[in-house]
Structure 1
Amino acid sequence: MNITVQQIMNECMAMASNRLEGTVDTLKFGDPSVIVTGIVTAFMPTQFVLEEAVRLGANLVIVHEGMFFSHHDGIEPAKDDPVYQTKWQWIESSGLAIFRFHDHMHHTFPDLVMEGLVRELGWSVYVREHRSVATVVTLPKLTLADLVLTVKRRLHIPFVRVIGEPDITCETVGLLAGYRGGGTTAIPLFGEADVLIYGEGPEWETPEYVRDALYQGRRKGLIVLGHAESEEPGMKLLCKRLRQRYPHLPVHYVKEKPLFSIY
Protein backbone atom coordinates (compact mmCIF):
# COMPACT_ATOMS: atom_id res chain seq x y z
CA MET A 1 0.00 0.00 0.00
CA ASN A 2 1.76 3.16 -1.23
CA ILE A 3 1.00 6.41 0.58
CA THR A 4 2.23 9.75 -0.71
CA VAL A 5 3.44 12.74 1.26
CA GLN A 6 0.32 14.63 0.12
CA GLN A 7 -1.98 11.92 1.46
CA ILE A 8 -0.32 12.09 4.89
CA MET A 9 -0.61 15.87 4.87
CA ASN A 10 -4.29 15.64 3.97
CA GLU A 11 -4.85 13.17 6.80
CA CYS A 12 -3.24 15.54 9.29
CA MET A 13 -5.20 18.56 8.07
CA ALA A 14 -8.45 16.59 8.29
CA MET A 15 -7.98 16.29 12.05
CA ALA A 16 -8.91 19.98 12.38
CA SER A 17 -12.50 21.18 12.58
CA ASN A 18 -12.02 23.28 9.43
CA ARG A 19 -9.38 24.23 6.86
CA LEU A 20 -7.60 27.49 7.60
CA GLU A 21 -6.52 30.28 5.28
CA GLY A 22 -3.12 31.93 5.58
CA THR A 23 -1.70 29.01 7.52
CA VAL A 24 1.95 28.09 8.10
CA ASP A 25 0.93 24.44 7.63
CA THR A 26 2.58 23.74 4.31
CA LEU A 27 5.20 21.45 2.82
CA LYS A 28 8.47 23.30 3.37
CA PHE A 29 10.75 20.92 1.46
CA GLY A 30 10.21 17.93 -0.77
CA ASP A 31 7.80 16.61 -3.37
CA PRO A 32 4.19 15.93 -2.27
CA SER A 33 3.89 13.04 -4.77
CA VAL A 34 6.77 11.04 -3.26
CA ILE A 35 5.90 7.67 -1.67
CA VAL A 36 6.45 7.73 2.07
CA THR A 37 8.88 5.11 3.41
CA GLY A 38 8.84 6.28 7.02
CA ILE A 39 7.72 9.19 9.17
CA VAL A 40 9.30 11.13 12.02
CA THR A 41 7.27 13.51 14.19
CA ALA A 42 9.07 16.10 16.30
CA PHE A 43 8.39 19.39 18.02
CA MET A 44 11.27 21.31 16.46
CA PRO A 45 13.04 20.59 13.17
CA THR A 46 16.53 20.95 14.57
CA GLN A 47 19.40 19.67 12.50
CA PHE A 48 19.78 16.80 14.97
CA VAL A 49 16.12 15.80 14.49
CA LEU A 50 16.43 15.90 10.70
CA GLU A 51 19.63 13.86 10.70
CA GLU A 52 17.99 11.36 13.05
CA ALA A 53 15.10 11.01 10.60
CA VAL A 54 17.54 10.05 7.85
CA ARG A 55 19.26 7.60 10.18
CA LEU A 56 15.89 5.98 10.94
CA GLY A 57 15.12 5.62 7.24
CA ALA A 58 12.23 8.13 7.23
CA ASN A 59 11.69 10.42 4.28
CA LEU A 60 8.85 12.52 5.77
CA VAL A 61 9.31 14.70 8.84
CA ILE A 62 6.28 16.32 10.47
CA VAL A 63 7.20 19.18 12.80
CA HIS A 64 5.27 21.66 14.89
CA GLU A 65 7.53 24.71 14.73
CA GLY A 66 9.45 26.47 11.97
CA MET A 67 12.84 25.44 10.65
CA PHE A 68 14.51 28.81 10.33
CA PHE A 69 13.94 30.50 13.68
CA SER A 70 10.75 32.38 12.78
CA HIS A 71 7.12 31.49 13.32
CA HIS A 72 6.14 32.71 9.87
CA ASP A 73 9.08 30.93 8.24
CA GLY A 74 10.60 34.20 7.08
CA ILE A 75 14.12 33.65 5.77
CA GLU A 76 15.26 37.06 4.51
CA PRO A 77 16.98 38.23 7.73
CA ALA A 78 18.95 34.99 7.98
CA LYS A 79 19.56 33.94 4.39
CA ASP A 80 23.24 34.98 4.42
CA ASP A 81 23.90 33.54 7.87
CA PRO A 82 26.22 30.48 7.88
CA VAL A 83 24.02 28.49 10.28
CA TYR A 84 21.00 29.04 8.05
CA GLN A 85 22.97 28.27 4.87
CA THR A 86 24.45 25.05 6.26
CA LYS A 87 21.07 23.80 7.42
CA TRP A 88 19.34 24.72 4.14
CA GLN A 89 22.01 22.99 2.04
CA TRP A 90 21.91 19.89 4.22
CA ILE A 91 18.11 19.62 3.94
CA GLU A 92 18.19 20.02 0.17
CA SER A 93 20.80 17.28 -0.16
CA SER A 94 18.96 14.93 2.25
CA GLY A 95 15.90 14.39 0.07
CA LEU A 96 13.59 14.81 3.08
CA ALA A 97 10.04 16.06 2.78
CA ILE A 98 9.31 18.39 5.70
CA PHE A 99 5.73 19.27 6.58
CA ARG A 100 4.87 21.80 9.25
CA PHE A 101 1.73 20.92 11.21
CA HIS A 102 0.98 23.77 13.58
CA ASP A 103 -2.19 25.80 13.05
CA HIS A 104 -4.49 22.91 12.16
CA MET A 105 -3.10 20.87 15.02
CA HIS A 106 -4.25 23.58 17.43
CA HIS A 107 -7.66 23.70 15.72
CA THR A 108 -8.61 20.13 16.62
CA PHE A 109 -10.99 19.70 19.55
CA PRO A 110 -9.75 18.99 22.02
CA ASP A 111 -6.57 20.71 20.89
CA LEU A 112 -4.27 17.80 19.98
CA VAL A 113 -1.28 19.50 21.61
CA MET A 114 -3.20 20.03 24.85
CA GLU A 115 -4.52 16.49 24.72
CA GLY A 116 -0.99 15.17 24.44
CA LEU A 117 0.09 17.20 27.47
CA VAL A 118 -2.88 16.06 29.56
CA ARG A 119 -2.26 12.42 28.65
CA GLU A 120 1.46 12.62 29.36
CA LEU A 121 0.66 14.05 32.80
CA GLY A 122 -1.80 11.20 33.42
CA TRP A 123 -4.66 13.62 34.05
CA SER A 124 -7.22 12.59 31.42
CA VAL A 125 -9.60 11.30 34.09
CA TYR A 126 -9.37 14.62 35.95
CA VAL A 127 -10.36 16.87 33.03
CA ARG A 128 -13.18 19.18 34.02
CA GLU A 129 -13.36 21.09 30.75
CA HIS A 130 -11.49 21.37 27.46
CA ARG A 131 -11.61 24.92 26.10
CA SER A 132 -10.28 26.41 22.89
CA VAL A 133 -6.98 27.55 24.42
CA ALA A 134 -6.91 25.89 27.85
CA THR A 135 -7.88 22.78 29.76
CA VAL A 136 -9.05 22.82 33.38
CA VAL A 137 -8.43 19.78 35.56
CA THR A 138 -9.53 19.00 39.12
CA LEU A 139 -6.88 16.90 40.87
CA PRO A 140 -6.84 15.15 44.22
CA LYS A 141 -5.51 17.78 46.64
CA LEU A 142 -1.73 18.12 46.82
CA THR A 143 0.82 20.81 47.59
CA LEU A 144 2.50 22.97 45.01
CA ALA A 145 5.81 21.27 45.86
CA ASP A 146 4.33 17.83 45.18
CA LEU A 147 2.67 19.09 41.99
CA VAL A 148 6.03 20.32 40.70
CA LEU A 149 7.65 16.95 41.40
CA THR A 150 4.80 15.15 39.63
CA VAL A 151 5.05 17.38 36.55
CA LYS A 152 8.82 17.00 36.27
CA ARG A 153 8.67 13.22 36.67
CA ARG A 154 5.85 12.60 34.22
CA LEU A 155 7.16 14.96 31.53
CA HIS A 156 10.74 13.73 32.04
CA ILE A 157 12.12 17.24 32.35
CA PRO A 158 14.93 18.33 34.68
CA PHE A 159 13.48 21.64 35.88
CA VAL A 160 10.55 24.06 35.77
CA ARG A 161 10.18 27.65 36.93
CA VAL A 162 7.75 28.18 39.81
CA ILE A 163 6.06 31.11 41.57
CA GLY A 164 4.21 30.45 44.83
CA GLU A 165 4.65 29.00 48.30
CA PRO A 166 5.54 25.29 48.25
CA ASP A 167 2.86 24.38 50.80
CA ILE A 168 -0.17 25.91 49.08
CA THR A 169 -2.96 23.48 48.27
CA CYS A 170 -3.46 22.70 44.60
CA GLU A 171 -6.68 21.19 43.32
CA THR A 172 -7.98 23.11 40.32
CA VAL A 173 -5.27 23.54 37.71
CA GLY A 174 -5.39 25.45 34.43
CA LEU A 175 -3.21 24.10 31.60
CA LEU A 176 -2.09 26.19 28.64
CA ALA A 177 0.34 24.62 26.18
CA GLY A 178 2.87 26.59 24.17
CA TYR A 179 2.86 30.38 23.95
CA ARG A 180 -0.45 30.89 25.74
CA GLY A 181 0.84 32.28 29.01
CA GLY A 182 0.04 35.91 28.19
CA GLY A 183 -2.09 37.84 30.62
CA THR A 184 -5.18 38.10 28.42
CA THR A 185 -5.40 34.32 28.08
CA ALA A 186 -4.01 33.12 31.39
CA ILE A 187 -4.99 35.58 34.11
CA PRO A 188 -8.80 35.04 33.84
CA LEU A 189 -8.25 31.36 34.69
CA PHE A 190 -7.11 32.36 38.19
CA GLY A 191 -10.76 33.09 38.96
CA GLU A 192 -11.23 29.33 39.29
CA ALA A 193 -7.75 27.80 39.36
CA ASP A 194 -5.32 27.51 42.24
CA VAL A 195 -2.37 27.03 39.91
CA LEU A 196 -1.65 27.59 36.24
CA ILE A 197 0.78 25.51 34.20
CA TYR A 198 1.86 26.86 30.83
CA GLY A 199 4.66 26.67 28.30
CA GLU A 200 5.76 30.28 28.06
CA GLY A 201 4.52 33.84 27.89
CA PRO A 202 5.61 37.44 28.54
CA GLU A 203 7.23 37.60 31.96
CA TRP A 204 5.79 41.06 32.67
CA GLU A 205 2.20 39.84 32.42
CA THR A 206 0.96 36.68 34.17
CA PRO A 207 4.03 36.21 36.43
CA GLU A 208 3.71 39.79 37.70
CA TYR A 209 0.00 39.24 38.32
CA VAL A 210 0.91 36.25 40.49
CA ARG A 211 3.53 38.31 42.32
CA ASP A 212 0.91 40.89 43.29
CA ALA A 213 -1.63 38.19 44.16
CA LEU A 214 0.85 36.65 46.58
CA TYR A 215 1.67 40.03 48.11
CA GLN A 216 -2.06 40.51 48.75
CA GLY A 217 -2.19 37.16 50.54
CA ARG A 218 -3.87 35.19 47.76
CA ARG A 219 -2.51 31.65 47.63
CA LYS A 220 -1.92 31.13 43.93
CA GLY A 221 0.81 29.38 42.01
CA LEU A 222 2.38 29.31 38.57
CA ILE A 223 4.50 26.62 36.90
CA VAL A 224 6.31 27.52 33.68
CA LEU A 225 7.39 24.44 31.72
CA GLY A 226 9.04 25.91 28.63
CA HIS A 227 7.48 26.01 25.18
CA ALA A 228 8.93 22.74 23.91
CA GLU A 229 8.31 20.90 27.16
CA SER A 230 4.61 21.78 27.00
CA GLU A 231 4.09 20.86 23.33
CA GLU A 232 6.35 17.86 22.73
CA PRO A 233 3.71 15.49 24.17
CA GLY A 234 1.36 16.58 21.38
CA MET A 235 3.84 15.47 18.72
CA LYS A 236 4.28 12.21 20.60
CA LEU A 237 0.50 11.69 20.50
CA LEU A 238 0.47 12.50 16.78
CA CYS A 239 3.07 9.78 16.25
CA LYS A 240 0.83 7.29 18.05
CA ARG A 241 -2.18 8.20 15.93
CA LEU A 242 -0.25 7.96 12.68
CA ARG A 243 1.02 4.51 13.69
CA GLN A 244 -2.55 3.41 14.24
CA ARG A 245 -3.66 4.90 10.92
CA TYR A 246 -0.74 3.52 8.90
CA PRO A 247 0.37 0.28 10.60
CA HIS A 248 2.48 -0.71 7.58
CA LEU A 249 4.67 2.41 7.90
CA PRO A 250 7.47 2.91 10.44
CA VAL A 251 6.56 6.04 12.41
CA HIS A 252 8.93 7.47 15.02
CA TYR A 253 8.76 10.31 17.52
CA VAL A 254 12.10 12.06 18.01
CA LYS A 255 12.61 14.15 21.14
CA GLU A 256 15.34 16.75 21.38
CA LYS A 257 17.48 17.34 24.46
CA PRO A 258 16.39 20.20 26.74
CA LEU A 259 17.42 23.52 25.23
CA PHE A 260 18.44 25.33 28.43
CA SER A 261 20.66 24.39 31.36
CA ILE A 262 20.64 25.76 34.92
CA TYR A 263 23.92 27.02 36.40
Structure 2
Amino acid sequence: MKTTVQMIIDALIEPVGRLEQTVDTLKFGDPSTEVTGIVTSFMPTWHVIEQALERKANLVIAHEGLFFSHHDDEAEGRANMIHQAKKRCIEESKIAIFRFHDYWHRYKPDGITEGLIRELAWEPYVSVHQPSASLLNIPSLPLKDIAEHVKQRLGIPYVRIIGDLDMICSRIGMLAGYRGSGSLAIPLFEREHADLVIYGEGQEWETPEYVREAVRQGNPRALMVLGHAESEEPGMKALAIRLRTKFPDIPVHYIKEDPLFQLF
Protein backbone atom coordinates (compact mmCIF):
# COMPACT_ATOMS: atom_id res chain seq x y z
CA MET A 1 0.00 0.00 0.00
CA LYS A 2 1.36 3.42 -0.93
CA THR A 3 2.09 6.04 1.72
CA THR A 4 0.62 9.43 0.83
CA VAL A 5 1.45 12.93 1.99
CA GLN A 6 -1.79 12.97 3.98
CA MET A 7 -0.89 9.74 5.75
CA ILE A 8 2.39 11.28 6.91
CA ILE A 9 0.58 14.41 8.11
CA ASP A 10 -2.02 12.36 9.97
CA ALA A 11 0.72 10.40 11.73
CA LEU A 12 2.42 13.63 12.79
CA ILE A 13 -0.66 15.25 14.30
CA GLU A 14 -2.14 12.08 15.86
CA PRO A 15 -0.26 12.37 19.22
CA VAL A 16 -1.73 15.85 19.76
CA GLY A 17 -5.12 15.70 18.07
CA ARG A 18 -6.29 18.19 15.46
CA LEU A 19 -5.87 21.83 16.47
CA GLU A 20 -8.59 24.33 15.62
CA GLN A 21 -6.11 27.13 14.92
CA THR A 22 -2.61 26.44 13.68
CA VAL A 23 -0.02 27.51 11.13
CA ASP A 24 0.66 23.81 10.50
CA THR A 25 -0.90 23.20 7.10
CA LEU A 26 0.13 21.73 3.78
CA LYS A 27 1.53 24.84 2.08
CA PHE A 28 2.16 23.23 -1.32
CA GLY A 29 1.46 19.88 -2.91
CA ASP A 30 -1.31 17.33 -3.28
CA PRO A 31 -2.16 15.37 -0.11
CA SER A 32 -2.93 12.26 -2.19
CA THR A 33 0.59 12.14 -3.71
CA GLU A 34 2.64 9.05 -2.92
CA VAL A 35 5.71 9.98 -0.87
CA THR A 36 9.02 8.98 -2.43
CA GLY A 37 11.22 10.58 0.21
CA ILE A 38 11.05 13.03 3.11
CA VAL A 39 13.29 15.91 4.12
CA THR A 40 13.04 17.57 7.53
CA SER A 41 14.55 20.98 8.18
CA PHE A 42 14.32 24.01 10.45
CA MET A 43 13.24 26.19 7.51
CA PRO A 44 12.24 25.30 3.93
CA THR A 45 14.93 27.48 2.40
CA TRP A 46 15.76 27.49 -1.30
CA HIS A 47 18.83 25.38 -0.48
CA VAL A 48 16.77 22.83 1.46
CA ILE A 49 14.27 22.50 -1.40
CA GLU A 50 17.09 21.99 -3.90
CA GLN A 51 18.65 19.34 -1.66
CA ALA A 52 15.29 17.58 -1.33
CA LEU A 53 14.89 17.44 -5.11
CA GLU A 54 18.43 16.09 -5.52
CA ARG A 55 17.54 13.28 -3.12
CA LYS A 56 14.29 12.49 -4.99
CA ALA A 57 12.33 13.49 -1.88
CA ASN A 58 8.94 15.00 -2.68
CA LEU A 59 7.87 15.99 0.85
CA VAL A 60 9.57 18.65 2.96
CA ILE A 61 8.55 18.96 6.62
CA ALA A 62 9.78 22.26 8.03
CA HIS A 63 9.41 23.89 11.42
CA GLU A 64 9.33 27.54 10.36
CA GLY A 65 7.53 29.31 7.54
CA LEU A 66 8.35 29.64 3.87
CA PHE A 67 7.94 33.34 3.35
CA PHE A 68 9.70 35.20 6.15
CA SER A 69 6.74 35.64 8.52
CA HIS A 70 5.24 33.37 11.14
CA HIS A 71 1.84 33.26 9.44
CA ASP A 72 3.16 33.04 5.84
CA ASP A 73 0.79 35.86 4.91
CA GLU A 74 0.31 35.57 1.14
CA ALA A 75 -0.95 39.18 0.89
CA GLU A 76 2.28 40.49 2.44
CA GLY A 77 4.38 38.67 -0.13
CA ARG A 78 2.63 39.61 -3.34
CA ALA A 79 4.94 42.56 -3.98
CA ASN A 80 8.01 40.72 -2.71
CA MET A 81 10.16 39.47 -5.59
CA ILE A 82 12.02 36.96 -3.40
CA HIS A 83 8.72 35.50 -2.21
CA GLN A 84 7.41 35.22 -5.77
CA ALA A 85 10.58 33.62 -7.16
CA LYS A 86 10.57 31.03 -4.39
CA LYS A 87 6.88 30.30 -4.92
CA ARG A 88 7.43 29.72 -8.66
CA CYS A 89 10.31 27.34 -7.93
CA ILE A 90 8.16 25.29 -5.55
CA GLU A 91 5.16 25.17 -7.88
CA GLU A 92 7.29 24.09 -10.84
CA SER A 93 8.97 21.34 -8.81
CA LYS A 94 5.58 20.01 -7.55
CA ILE A 95 7.19 19.29 -4.19
CA ALA A 96 4.92 19.09 -1.12
CA ILE A 97 5.75 21.28 1.89
CA PHE A 98 4.16 20.79 5.31
CA ARG A 99 4.71 23.17 8.22
CA PHE A 100 5.22 21.31 11.50
CA HIS A 101 5.47 23.92 14.20
CA ASP A 102 2.53 24.04 16.62
CA TYR A 103 1.99 20.28 16.79
CA TRP A 104 5.66 19.48 17.41
CA HIS A 105 5.79 22.01 20.25
CA ARG A 106 2.69 20.38 21.79
CA TYR A 107 4.15 16.89 21.98
CA LYS A 108 4.85 15.78 25.54
CA PRO A 109 7.65 16.52 26.02
CA ASP A 110 7.97 19.30 23.44
CA GLY A 111 9.63 17.68 20.41
CA ILE A 112 11.90 20.63 19.71
CA THR A 113 13.17 20.95 23.28
CA GLU A 114 13.58 17.19 23.63
CA GLY A 115 15.66 17.13 20.45
CA LEU A 116 17.92 19.90 21.77
CA ILE A 117 18.45 18.13 25.09
CA ARG A 118 19.21 14.85 23.28
CA GLU A 119 21.75 16.55 21.01
CA LEU A 120 23.48 17.98 24.10
CA ALA A 121 23.57 14.47 25.67
CA TRP A 122 21.75 15.85 28.74
CA GLU A 123 18.78 13.48 28.76
CA PRO A 124 19.83 11.81 32.07
CA TYR A 125 19.82 15.21 33.79
CA VAL A 126 16.25 16.31 33.07
CA SER A 127 14.45 17.29 36.26
CA VAL A 128 11.10 18.34 34.81
CA HIS A 129 9.56 19.26 31.47
CA GLN A 130 7.25 22.27 31.61
CA PRO A 131 5.07 23.31 28.64
CA SER A 132 7.58 25.94 27.44
CA ALA A 133 10.76 25.05 29.30
CA SER A 134 12.74 22.16 30.75
CA LEU A 135 14.80 22.15 33.95
CA LEU A 136 17.99 20.12 34.21
CA ASN A 137 20.44 19.31 37.00
CA ILE A 138 23.81 18.64 35.35
CA PRO A 139 27.11 17.87 37.08
CA SER A 140 28.59 21.16 38.33
CA LEU A 141 30.79 22.86 35.75
CA PRO A 142 32.20 26.35 35.08
CA LEU A 143 30.07 28.35 32.65
CA LYS A 144 32.92 28.44 30.11
CA ASP A 145 33.09 24.62 30.07
CA ILE A 146 29.34 24.36 29.53
CA ALA A 147 29.64 26.81 26.63
CA GLU A 148 32.39 24.71 25.02
CA HIS A 149 30.27 21.58 25.43
CA VAL A 150 27.25 23.27 23.82
CA LYS A 151 29.27 24.56 20.86
CA GLN A 152 30.88 21.18 20.26
CA ARG A 153 27.69 19.17 20.52
CA LEU A 154 25.63 21.52 18.34
CA GLY A 155 28.42 22.18 15.85
CA ILE A 156 28.08 25.96 16.13
CA PRO A 157 30.93 28.51 16.05
CA TYR A 158 29.84 30.70 18.95
CA VAL A 159 27.28 31.38 21.67
CA ARG A 160 26.49 34.68 23.40
CA ILE A 161 26.91 34.79 27.18
CA ILE A 162 26.10 37.13 30.04
CA GLY A 163 27.72 36.23 33.35
CA ASP A 164 31.03 35.22 34.90
CA LEU A 165 32.68 32.55 32.73
CA ASP A 166 34.16 30.95 35.86
CA MET A 167 30.77 30.73 37.61
CA ILE A 168 29.90 27.15 38.61
CA CYS A 169 26.54 26.08 37.20
CA SER A 170 24.45 22.98 37.70
CA ARG A 171 20.77 24.02 37.53
CA ILE A 172 19.85 24.88 33.93
CA GLY A 173 16.64 26.24 32.46
CA MET A 174 16.24 25.37 28.77
CA LEU A 175 14.04 27.38 26.39
CA ALA A 176 14.25 26.43 22.71
CA GLY A 177 13.34 28.86 19.94
CA TYR A 178 11.80 32.29 20.46
CA ARG A 179 11.05 31.86 24.14
CA GLY A 180 13.60 34.19 25.66
CA SER A 181 11.18 36.86 26.83
CA GLY A 182 11.37 38.00 30.42
CA SER A 183 7.96 36.52 31.18
CA LEU A 184 9.23 33.02 30.33
CA ALA A 185 12.91 33.15 31.25
CA ILE A 186 13.05 35.24 34.44
CA PRO A 187 10.76 32.87 36.43
CA LEU A 188 13.26 30.09 35.76
CA PHE A 189 15.77 32.07 37.82
CA GLU A 190 13.30 33.30 40.44
CA ARG A 191 11.02 30.31 41.00
CA GLU A 192 13.07 27.38 39.68
CA HIS A 193 16.43 28.57 41.06
CA ALA A 194 18.29 28.17 37.76
CA ASP A 195 21.96 29.17 37.74
CA LEU A 196 21.94 29.36 33.95
CA VAL A 197 19.22 29.84 31.37
CA ILE A 198 19.87 28.75 27.80
CA TYR A 199 17.54 29.89 25.06
CA GLY A 200 17.42 30.39 21.33
CA GLU A 201 16.22 33.94 20.84
CA GLY A 202 14.50 36.71 22.77
CA GLN A 203 14.25 40.43 23.34
CA GLU A 204 17.64 41.85 24.26
CA TRP A 205 16.27 44.32 26.80
CA GLU A 206 14.31 41.91 29.02
CA THR A 207 16.08 38.76 30.23
CA PRO A 208 19.62 39.95 29.32
CA GLU A 209 19.15 43.17 31.33
CA TYR A 210 17.70 41.20 34.24
CA VAL A 211 20.80 38.97 34.30
CA ARG A 212 23.15 41.96 34.09
CA GLU A 213 21.38 43.63 37.03
CA ALA A 214 21.43 40.39 39.03
CA VAL A 215 25.20 40.03 38.55
CA ARG A 216 25.79 43.67 39.58
CA GLN A 217 23.73 43.08 42.73
CA GLY A 218 25.91 40.12 43.65
CA ASN A 219 23.43 37.40 42.63
CA PRO A 220 25.39 35.05 40.36
CA ARG A 221 23.28 34.18 37.34
CA ALA A 222 24.12 33.49 33.72
CA LEU A 223 22.47 33.53 30.31
CA MET A 224 23.48 31.70 27.13
CA VAL A 225 21.90 32.64 23.79
CA LEU A 226 22.25 30.05 21.02
CA GLY A 227 20.29 31.58 18.13
CA HIS A 228 16.79 30.59 17.05
CA ALA A 229 17.79 28.07 14.38
CA GLU A 230 20.66 26.69 16.43
CA SER A 231 18.28 25.84 19.27
CA GLU A 232 15.56 24.27 17.11
CA GLU A 233 17.46 22.41 14.39
CA PRO A 234 18.15 19.44 16.71
CA GLY A 235 14.39 19.01 17.12
CA MET A 236 13.97 18.59 13.38
CA LYS A 237 16.87 16.16 13.31
CA ALA A 238 15.06 14.18 16.02
CA LEU A 239 11.91 14.26 13.89
CA ALA A 240 13.80 12.62 11.01
CA ILE A 241 14.88 9.81 13.34
CA ARG A 242 11.29 9.33 14.49
CA LEU A 243 9.98 9.24 10.91
CA ARG A 244 12.56 6.64 9.86
CA THR A 245 11.22 4.37 12.59
CA LYS A 246 7.58 5.06 11.71
CA PHE A 247 8.03 4.73 7.93
CA PRO A 248 11.03 2.43 7.41
CA ASP A 249 10.35 2.00 3.68
CA ILE A 250 10.65 5.73 2.93
CA PRO A 251 14.06 7.49 2.76
CA VAL A 252 14.14 10.29 5.33
CA HIS A 253 16.83 12.98 5.35
CA TYR A 254 17.56 15.79 7.78
CA ILE A 255 19.11 18.85 6.13
CA LYS A 256 20.89 21.45 8.25
CA GLU A 257 21.39 24.92 6.84
CA ASP A 258 24.62 26.92 7.12
CA PRO A 259 24.80 29.35 10.06
CA LEU A 260 22.77 32.44 9.26
CA PHE A 261 25.12 35.06 10.73
CA GLN A 262 28.86 35.52 10.48
CA LEU A 263 31.05 37.34 12.99
CA PHE A 264 33.00 40.33 11.62
| TM-score of Structure 1 vs Structure 2, range by shorter chain | over 0.9
Structure 2 segments unaligned to the other structure (5+ residues): none
In 1, the alpha carbon distance for the partners of 2:80 and 2:188 equals 42
2:2 is matched by which residue type in structure 1?
Answer: N
Deviation of the 1:103 alpha carbon: 0.3
1:43 is matched by which residue type in structure 2?
Answer: F
In 2, the alpha carbon distance for the partners of 1:205 and 1:79 equals 34
2:168 is matched by which residue type in structure 1?
Answer: T
Normalising to structure 2: TM-score of the pair? 0.98
Aligned to 1:141: 140
Deviation of the 1:176 alpha carbon: 0.3
Equivalent pair of 1:194/1:220 in contact (CA under 8 Å): yes
In 2, the alpha carbon distance for the partners of 1:121 and 1:179 equals 19
Q: Deviations over 1:135-167 (max 9, x none)?
A: 000010000000100000001111111100111
In 1, the alpha carbon distance for the partners of 2:73 and 2:159 equals 30
Q: Deviations over 1:109-154 (max 9, x none)?
A: 0000010000000000000111110000001000000010000000
Aligned to 1:202: 203
Aligned to 1:183: 182
Matches within 5 A, 1:88-99: 88-99=87-98
User: Residue 176 of structure 1 aligns to a residue in which SS?
Assistant: strand
User: Residue 204 of structure 2 aligns to a residue in which SS?
Assistant: coil
User: Residue 140 of structure 1 aligns to a residue in which SS?
Assistant: strand
In 2, the alpha carbon distance for the partners of 1:36 and 1:262 equals 40
TM superposition outliers: structure 1 runs of 4+ over 3 Å: none
In 2, the alpha carbon distance for the partners of 1:31 and 1:250 equals 19
Aligned to 1:73: 72
Deviation of the 1:84 alpha carbon: 1.1
Deviation of the 1:195 alpha carbon: 0.2
Aligned to 1:27: 26
Q: Deviations over 1:187-245 (max 9, x none)?
A: 00002100000000111110010010011011110000000000000000000000001
Equivalent pair of 1:25/1:104 in contact (CA under 8 Å): yes
Deviation of the 1:255 alpha carbon: 0.4
2:141 is matched by which residue type in structure 1?
Answer: L
User: Residue 177 of structure 2 aligns to a residue in which SS?
Assistant: coil
Q: How much is the aligned-residue C-alpha RMSD, in angstroms?
A: 0.7
Deviation of the 1:90 alpha carbon: 0.4
User: Residue 8 of structure 2 aligns to a residue in which SS?
Assistant: helix
Deviation of the 1:43 alpha carbon: 0.4
In 1, the alpha carbon distance for the partners of 2:155 and 2:56 equals 26
In 2, the alpha carbon distance for the partners of 1:75 and 1:4 equals 26
Aligned to 1:231: 232
In 1, the alpha carbon distance for the partners of 2:20 and 2:80 equals 31
Aligned to 2:112: 113
In 1, the alpha carbon distance for the partners of 2:110 and 2:36 equals 28
1:249 and 2:250 are equivalent in the alignment: yes
Matches within 5 A, 1:31-46: 31-46=30-45
Name the count of aligned residue pairs: 262
Normalising to structure 1: TM-score of the pair? 0.98
User: Residue 77 of structure 1 aligns to a residue in which SS?
Assistant: helix
Equivalent pair of 1:41/1:254 in contact (CA under 8 Å): yes
Equivalent pair of 1:15/1:105 in contact (CA under 8 Å): no
User: Residue 187 of structure 2 aligns to a residue in which SS?
Assistant: helix
1:211 is matched by which residue type in structure 2?
Answer: R
- Percent identity, please: 56
Equivalent pair of 1:180/1:199 in contact (CA under 8 Å): yes
User: Residue 106 of structure 1 aligns to a residue in which SS?
Assistant: helix
